[in-house]
Amino acid sequence: MERVHNFNAGPAVLPEEVLLEAQADLFNYKGMGLSVMEMSHRSKEYQAIIDETHAAVKRIYNLGDDYDVLFLQGGASMQFLMVPMNFAHEGKIANIIHTGVWSKKAIGEIKKLGLPVHLAASSEDKNHSYIPKTHTLSENPAYLHITTNNTIYGTEWHHDPEVQAGVPLIADMSSNFMSKPIDAQKYSMIYAGAQKNVGPAGVVVVIIKKDFLATAKEGLPSMMDYNVAAKNGSMFNTPPTFTIYMVGLVLKWIEAMGGLDKVALNNQAKAKYIYDAIDNSNGFYRGTVDKEDRSLMNITFRMATEDMEALFISEAKKAGMIGLKGHRLSGGCRASTYNSLPLPAAHALAQFMGEFMKKNG
């Protein structure tokens, strides 16, 4: 059976090479007579796997010894509460740039903790169709938190934001993690649920600057405490061993491809096929966000009626393309074009969009 063209928003497509490598190793990992899933996380073989995955994260983002990498559970959603629990203390205020559903959830968790939150900027006035270009911090900011790619609305930050010196910048990069080169040193913390760009669901990768980590609140419950995770090499409790192994394979694939410059070129080419199909459709397909802020990872568009959108999604499925329905909160259509989506899949979708328009336009 052929594989489908998978435009799912997450969990999402994985590289075929990675799936085949995992398959080959699944029954008997490197002649050990067992699979990675069955290994003790305290074994030296597993330690080698997590160490290599940790090292690959740092190599790919050019990070030195001043950064640590953690593999945690609870998804990006758990980070929405761990970040303020650890860093919004001693009267310091969480500052957030609100750009969509995920930042809204991050704000909600801060409020549930009974902590103050300051909206440094928001795109809510225009239904999150753009990235705010300026922001205003509160007094005594703990940090500024941004969402670098808005998975549901289809906007993306195309530059690392400028922040007042001394204010830690924290980014939820779940849906554009390792999709392009960034100036990672600008960030005190980056986190990403693996299931969009770098692996299966089950782990969140946290990159954290050690001097920022040292400012975290002490005495938090162990599983909420970044320092506990760091001191225990992400093994305070049993980590999601197989997922971390899979992330390691995806990172190896990224490096084999030539690193983030190559990944970014490929992502630009894929997005261009589809945005061109939108822009050359005379309004048959309508992009939903400002062109300069368009996401290269989640391409959102609408058509004249919801019936037409439903027909598009079902016809696309017959043509072997799945995952094109927009998020239930925003409606419309969405094509997710993460790192692992092959270029021919994006080309096939663009072609299909042209044919569908000819038939139904």
Ligand X SMILES: *Cc1c(COP(=O)(O)O)cnc(C)c1O
Binding site for ligand X (CB under 6 A): 10, 75-77, 102, 147, 151, 172, 174-175, 193, 196
DSSP string, 143-163: EEEEESEETTTTEE--SPPP-
Composition of the chain by helix, strand, coil, percent to 5: 40, 15, 40
Catalytic residue selected from 68, 92, 157, 196:
196
* Closer CB to ligand X, 192 or 303, in the complex: 192
Q: Positive or negative, the Cα torsion across 31, 32, 33, 39?
A: negative
Amino acid at 349: L
Q: Strands 298-302, 321-322: parallel, antiparallel or unpaired by DSSP?
A: unpaired
Q: Which helix (H) or strand (E) holds 192?
A: strand 189-193
Could you tell me the smallest distance in angstroms from the CB atom of residue 273 to ligand X? Answer: 22
* 196: annotated active-site residue: yes
Q: Strands 169-172, 141-147: parallel, antiparallel or unpaired by DSSP?
A: parallel
Catalytic residue selected from 68, 92, 157, 172:
172
* 293: annotated active-site residue: no
Q: Which helix (H) or strand (E) holds 316?
A: helix 306-318
Could you tell me the smallest distance in angstroms from the CB atom of residue 153 to ligand X? Answer: 10
* Closer CB to ligand X, 143 or 312, in the complex: 143
* Closer CB to ligand X, 13 or 350, in the complex: 13
Distance CA 81, CA 295 (A): 26
Could you tell me the smallest distance in angstroms from the CB atom of residue 78 to ligand X? Answer: 7
* Closer CB to ligand X, 53 or 151, in the complex: 151
Catalytic residue selected from 68, 92, 102, 270:
102
Residue number, nearest CB to ligand X = 75
Give Cα 32 distance to the centre of its chain: 33
Could you tell me the smallest distance in angstroms from the CB atom of residue 282 to ligand X? Answer: 31
Which positions are annotated as active-site residues?
102, 172, 196
